[in-house]
Amino acid sequence: MKPIKIIVEKHPDGYIAYPLGIKGVVVGEGNTYAEALADVKSAIQCHIEVFGEEVLEDESPVLEAFIAEAEVTI
């Protein structure tokens, strides 16, 4: 087992989750945080089974993730 950082976003119509440090596109979704997290875990496992462990980066370049807001002039 290898720890994988996962971003979970809350949207008006549910939650979206995606992992960091995996080659390719892997996304999970759900009506709740827990559902989205379970869905993305399942998607990660499937992705590894299909494409092999080569999709896992040896060392994720992401140590931590933060959310910040900035005002942009448009």
Q: How far does the chain reach from its first CA to its final CA, in angstroms?
A: 45
Q: What is the pLDDT of residue 60?
A: 66
8 A C-beta contact, residue 48 and residue 41: no
The residues that bridge with 11 in the sheet, in sequence order, are 14
Instruction: Give the CA distances from residue 66 to residues 47, 49, 54, 62, 69, in Å, rounded to whole numbers and listed in that order.
Output: 26, 30, 27, 11, 10
Going residue by residue through the chain (74 aa), what tens digit of pLDDT does each one get?
Answer: 778 889 999 999 999 999 988 999 999 999 999 999 999 999 999 999 999 999 987 776 777 778 788 899 98
What the block records as the tokens of 25 is 């596109």
Q: What is the pLDDT of residue 69?
A: 84
Q: Which residues contact 54 (CB under 8 A, 6 or more apart)?
A: 23
